A and B are shown apart, each in its own frame.
Chain A
Amino acid sequence: MTTTSTTGTTLRALTTGLVLALLATLAVTPAISGSAASAAATNEVFIVQGVPESEVDVQIDGREIESSVRAGAVVGPLVLPAGQHDATFTSGDWTVTTSFEIDGPSTDVVLHWPADPTQQPETTVFTNDVGPVAAGKGRLTVAHTAVVPPADVRVDGKVLFANIANGEFVTAEVPADTYPVDIVPTGGTSPLLGPVDLDVKAGSLTRVFAIGQPRAGSMDAVVQVVSLDRSGSGRPTAIRAGTAGLVAPGHHQDAEQGTQPLGAAVGVLAAVLGVATVLGVATARIGTERRRTVR
């Protein structure tokens, strides 16, 4: 059976001893872009091999998908119908069998150590938010699938996501940029992972899985990128927000002056025309106007 997978090469950052697996997965399908006609047909599933120092054979629903999948690799996208499926992960040391539900257009099935690494690896299923994102932003998700206690995710040393436990994830939509990211124990400052430069591209979902265990020196981050549609409209070049001229200078009331420079500009005009008072009581009116009662 033919299988395909996306694999990235890994690098070891000498300064931090960190292995970062960077993967680019382009997974735009009609289902993801919201076309109603294909909503029932295509649900994409990615298998994330998050157990360091292991090579895993992957079976889905009794069929071999890929063998000897190395840690940090993302297999897929597989197209599976909605509903329940089985997965079997086999390494030289263990076999993990699990069932999982698919109920959305994009799902990650992650094999990882639980919080207690003396147990077998376990599987956690994450439903990916592949809805559209505003122009200039990317959706960043960080999932905790590592053998560390609850952790904070920091950007440039400042906590962006707080107190994430094994099996949990957090999401934020952030301006496209390269972010120096690290993961520290909740409330702490000593990195469990990173800092590494994380590239968040506009119009994409960037998913980061923290995996491994510090004791074995195998802390790692798996990065998966999925394309998203854009939400919202472009930047306005003009805002027309008034047609009656009732608050123009010389047209009186609301005449209490605000801060500089607004105060300066209107205040000068008002003084010249002898109109303004602090309580908005006009001393001169030009024409008549209706004043809407503000409830």
Chain B
Amino acid sequence: MLLAALAVASVVAVLVPQAPAREGDRPAPARAAGPPAGVGRQAASQVVPRRPEAVRLPSGASMPVDVVATGGDGVLDLPPGIDRAGWWDGGSRIGDPFGTIVLAAHVDSITDGIGPFAELLRARPGQRVRLAGSGAAQEFEIVSVRLTPRASLSRQASIFSVRGPLRLVLITCAGPFDADRGGYRDNLIAVASPVGRRRASLE
């Protein structure tokens, strides 16, 4: 398709000044106020994406989900402890059409022992995980579980992708542990696909 050259005039915001009122003047004749314009409405089919606020794992155990960000060192800044999961703030949300929703949590800690995310080491395709947030909820079905060395996480481009159909990626640590060499060797990556319709939130 031939694209004709665009003629883009330099954009300068146009201020529309209001006529200043001066004391002692007669009031300016009122402009004819027309009927109110229609207000564009969201179609009923509109799905408003919501970040997850809780996750229910295959066993039925539930955890709250906090918003987490990547630090300057490239490390995802997880909630401390084992009983809260983190949702990466650069990823997709419940109801987004594309991309990965990334949740991670500590599998264990020295102070608190083994956490709920440890059950992912037993996870199998077909098992269900549910996300909920702000009135929206979505069920997911696990399609794969794998270990990948932590050192090569950045080469797993599909985990943090904006592309492809919406899917949930659950991440924790697993594999051999060496306290002198950064702890667990591996990340456990569980990928799950949405099942059924998103339960609508009312906005």
Residues in chain A near residue B43, CB distance under 8 A: 144, 161-165, 168-170
Contact call A98/B34, Cβ cutoff below 8 A: yes
The answer to whether B5 has its CB under 8 Å from any CB of chain A is: yes
Residues in chain B near residue A292, CB distance under 8 A: 82, 112-116
Residue-wise, chain A 213-235 has the 8 Å CB interface mask toward B (1 for contact) of 00000000000000000011111
In the assembly, what is the distance between CA of A277 and CA of B163, in Å?
A: 39
The answer to whether B38 has its CB under 8 Å from any CB of chain A is: yes
Given A98-B34, A173-B96, A241 contacting B8 (CB threshold 8 A): no
Residues in chain A near residue B9, CB distance under 8 A: 4-7
The answer, among A4, A170, A244, for a CB contact under 8 Å with B113, is: A244
Contact call B163/A238, Cβ cutoff below 8 A: no
The answer to whether B24 has its CB under 8 Å from any CB of chain A is: no
The answer, among B38, B42, B73, B183, for a CB contact under 8 Å with A242, is: B183
In the assembly, what is the distance between CA of A123 and CA of B184, in Å?
A: 61
Residues in chain B near residue A290, CB distance under 8 A: 113-114
The answer to whether B44 has its CB under 8 Å from any CB of chain A is: yes
The answer to whether B202 has its CB under 8 Å from any CB of chain A is: no
Contact call A13/B1, Cβ cutoff below 8 A: yes
The answer, among A61, A109, A168, A258, for a CB contact under 8 Å with B121, is: A258
Contact call A78/B14, Cβ cutoff below 8 A: yes
Contact call A245/B184, Cβ cutoff below 8 A: yes
CB-CB contacts below 8 Å: A234-269 with B: 234-249, 251, 254, 256-259, 261-262, 265-266
Contact call A246/B31, Cβ cutoff below 8 A: no
In the assembly, what is the distance between CA of A266 and CA of B120, in Å?
A: 13
Given A137-B99, A137-B162, A240-B78, A167 contacting B8 (CB threshold 8 A): no
* Stretch from B129-137, B171-179, B193-201 that touches the partner: B171-179
Residues in chain B near residue A254, CB distance under 8 A: 114, 118-119, 121-122
The answer to whether A127 has its CB under 8 Å from any CB of chain B is: yes
Contact call B124/A245, Cβ cutoff below 8 A: no
Nearest Cβ on chain A to B41's Cβ, whole angstroms:
5
Residue of A nearest to B179 (CB): A245
Contact call B14/A3, Cβ cutoff below 8 A: yes
Residue of A nearest to B88 (CB): A236
In the assembly, what is the distance between CA of A257 and CA of B174, in Å?
A: 13
Given A124-B38, A124-B39, A241 contacting B75 (CB threshold 8 A): no
Nearest Cβ on chain B to A20's Cβ, whole angstroms:
9
Nearest Cβ on chain A to B153's Cβ, whole angstroms:
6
Given A88-B34, A294-B116, A233 contacting B70 (CB threshold 8 A): yes
Of the candidates A165, A171, A242, the one having the most CB atoms from chain B within 10 angstroms of its own CB is A242
Residues in chain A near residue B88, CB distance under 8 A: 232-233, 236
The answer to whether B2 has its CB under 8 Å from any CB of chain A is: yes
CB-CB contacts below 8 Å: B87-128 with A: 88-92, 96-99, 104-110, 112-125
The answer to whether A50 has its CB under 8 Å from any CB of chain B is: no
Residue of A nearest to B123 (CB): A258
Residue of A nearest to B173 (CB): A242
The answer to whether A143 has its CB under 8 Å from any CB of chain B is: yes
Residues in chain A near residue B2, CB distance under 8 A: 11
Residues in chain B near residue A61, CB distance under 8 A: 16, 18, 31
Contact call B14/A239, Cβ cutoff below 8 A: no
Contact call B114/A262, Cβ cutoff below 8 A: no
Residues in chain A near residue B110, CB distance under 8 A: 243-244
Residue-wise, chain B 150-166 has the 8 Å CB interface mask toward A (1 for contact) of 10011000001011000
Contact call A79/B113, Cβ cutoff below 8 A: no
Residues in chain A near residue B76, CB distance under 8 A: 236, 238-239
Q: Which residues of A contact B (CB under 8 A)?
A: 2-11, 13, 22-27, 29, 42, 44, 60-63, 65, 76-81, 86-88, 96-101, 108-110, 122-127, 134-137, 143-144, 160-165, 167-177, 196-197, 231-249, 251, 254, 256-259, 261-262, 265-266, 280, 289-292, 294-295
A11-B4, A109-B37 known; 16 new pairs, CB 8 Å cut-off, are A6-B11, A9-B7, A11-B2, A27-B11, A44-B13, A77-B11, A86-B32, A124-B38, A135-B162, A162-B45, A163-B45, A167-B40, A170-B43, A238-B154, A242-B184, A245-B179
The 3 A-B residue pairs with the shortest CB-CB distance in the complex, in nearest-first order: A97-B34, A245-B177, A242-B173
21 A-B residue pairs with CB within 8 Å: A8-B7, A9-B6, A11-B4, A24-B8, A65-B14, A79-B13, A97-B33, A97-B34, A98-B35, A135-B162, A172-B96, A176-B162, A240-B182, A241-B107, A241-B117, A242-B177, A242-B184, A243-B109, A245-B179, A262-B146, A262-B174
